[in-house]
Amino acid sequence: MKKLIIPVALALAATISSAGPSGAMLLDSLKSPDRYSQGVAMGYIQGVLDLRQGLEFCLTPQASLGQVREAVEHWLDINPFLTKYNAYATISFAVANSWPCGAKL
């Protein structure tokens, strides 16, 4: 049974990571005047932070969700090629570049 669970779990993880909103959709939601869209995008960002903190990036205790939002928007604005990737990957990239692990702040 264990031999079946691992490949299925890996396949499911690959499907989930490639699904979901794109970086372009995330950026549109963050810049939207609609507060609901902004809230959904912020919730998505918080979810990525919760999953990847300490693995791909190391936020400082002083870092706020607002600062992370600004970093994500900034990275998407100056790296428009990122908007074609899924939002999970674009958030991870932006935050890892802004708060790398092992950085002296």
List the structure tokens of 83. 């908007």
Rounded CA-CA distance 70/68 in Å is 5
Structure token pair of residue 61: 């205790």
Instruction: Tell me the C-alpha distance between 44 and 42, whole Å.
Output: 5
- Tokens for 53, please give them: 């903190």
pLDDT of 15 strictly over 50:
no
Residues facing 22 on adjacent strands: 86
Q: Looking at residue 54, what is its pLDDT?
A: 80
Average pLDDT of span 31-43? 95
Q: Quick one: pLDDT band at residue 52, thresholds 50, 70, 90? A: confident
Q: Band of the pLDDT at 18, cuts 50, 70, 90?
A: low
Residue type (1 letter), 92: S
CB 41 within 8 A of CB 24: no
Report all structural domains of the chain as residue ranges with CATH numbers, in order of start.
Answer: 21-98 (1.10.890.40)
Lowest mean pLDDT among 60-64, 71-75, 99-103: 99-103
